[in-house]
């Protein structure tokens, strides 16, 4: 780290040592686990429009296309492991310095690293929900069922996206079969918030409560391009709560930040999680 970043990290370390920190994490935290973000230096250019809830529920062809891509994408997302950044956040929580963790990510890597009571704004790809009866089931079960009815599926991903959606050649989708709920026959979808859906009100309300009572809002790996995450920065500023951002590259939260560190999270966060000198 260069001298400026070292000094910035030292300042942030002092703020974190005071406690009362709420973390807001985005896709940039998971890039070092092999999951691309959308807008950062390691982001993948999306070749297809993200699935919307309306299209998923109304268009059987689009739904089949989505499940083929998502089934292949899960083979990468589902095998991802926490990186040093996730582990550092978990250590800070274990030391009692964090009042909460809010994530925009759907990969479950915070919890895999040992973090507890994480608010998953956009859900988790590891769960499947039935739109008919509301039953939840593990993604592994869905994967086994799709493998069983698609033994000849051999799609090859062109690229992966942060939401687990893989880019495939169109002819790879021919003949792919989708399965429905074993209980009621309803439509199954990953338990994540699609475009066109709203984040459940209880999650948003709890997140606002955490932010409003924080001493520091620490944003990790988010460009804050969409309002889903930026609204918490705006709420923090409104309540006079300092905002610190660690991110690679441009972020729309920079004008609101008391401190902005443009550096790799996998390097910065482990330094912040080191035990305080005796």
Catalytic residues: 122
Q: How far apart (Å, rounded) are the C-alpha atoms in residues 85 and 275?
A: 15
Q: How far apart (Å, rounded) are the C-alpha atoms in residues 86 and 33?
A: 9
Q: Is 184 known to sit in a ligand binding site?
A: yes
Q: How far apart (Å, rounded) are the C-alpha atoms in residues 110 and 78?
A: 14
Given a contact cutoff of 8 angstroms between Cβ atoms, the answer to whether 90 and 113 are in contact is yes
Q: Is 133 known to sit in a ligand binding site?
A: yes
Collapsed DSSP state (helix, strand, coil) of residue 209 = helix
Q: How far apart (Å, rounded) are the C-alpha atoms in residues 185 and 55?
A: 19
Best CA proximity match to 222, nearest among 244, 207, 205: 244
Given a contact cutoff of 8 angstroms between Cβ atoms, the answer to whether 18 and 214 are in contact is no
Collapsed DSSP state (helix, strand, coil) of residue 242 = strand
Taken in order 245, 250, 253, 255, the sign of the CA dihedral is: positive
Q: Is 130 known to sit in a ligand binding site?
A: yes
Collapsed DSSP state (helix, strand, coil) of residue 128 = strand
| Annotated binding-site positions | 130, 133, 181, 184
| Annotated binding-site positions for Zn(2+) | 130, 133, 181, 184
């Amino acid at each position: 780290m260069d001298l400026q970043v070292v000094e910035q990290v030292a300042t942030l370390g002092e703020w974190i040592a005071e406690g009362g920190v709420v973390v807001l994490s985005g896709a940039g935290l998971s890039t070092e686990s092999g999951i691309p973000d959308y807008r950062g230096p390691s982001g993948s250019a999306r070749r297809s429009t993200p699935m919307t809830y309306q299209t998923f529920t109304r268009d059987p062809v689009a739904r089949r296309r989505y499940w083929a891509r998502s089934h292949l994408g899960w083979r990468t997302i589902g095998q991802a492991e926490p990186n040093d950044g996730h582990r550092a956040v978990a250590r800070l929580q274990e030391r009692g310095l964090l009042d909460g963790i809010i994530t925009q990510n759907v990969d479950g890597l915070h919890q895999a690293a040992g973090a507890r009571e994480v608010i998953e704004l956009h859900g988790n790809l590891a769960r499947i929900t039935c739109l008919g009866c509301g039953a939840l089931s593990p993604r592994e079960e869905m994967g086994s069922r799709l493998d069983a009815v698609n033994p000849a599926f051999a799609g090859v991903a062109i690229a992966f996206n942060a939401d687990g959606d893989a880019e495939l050649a169109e002819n790879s989708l021919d003949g792919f079969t989708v399965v429905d709920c074993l209980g009621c026959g309803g439509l199954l979808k990953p338990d994540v918030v699609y475009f066109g859906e709203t984040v459940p009100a209880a999650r948003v309300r709890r997140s606002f409560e955490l932010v409003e009572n924080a001493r520091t809002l620490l944003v990790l790996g988010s460009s804050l391009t969409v309002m889903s995450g930026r609204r918490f920065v705006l709420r923090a500023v409104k309540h006079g709560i300092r905002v610190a951002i660690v991110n690679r590259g441009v972020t729309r939260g920079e004008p609101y930040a008391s401190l902005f560190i443009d550096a790799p999270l996998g390097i910065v966060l482990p330094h912040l999680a080191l035990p305080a000198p005796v």
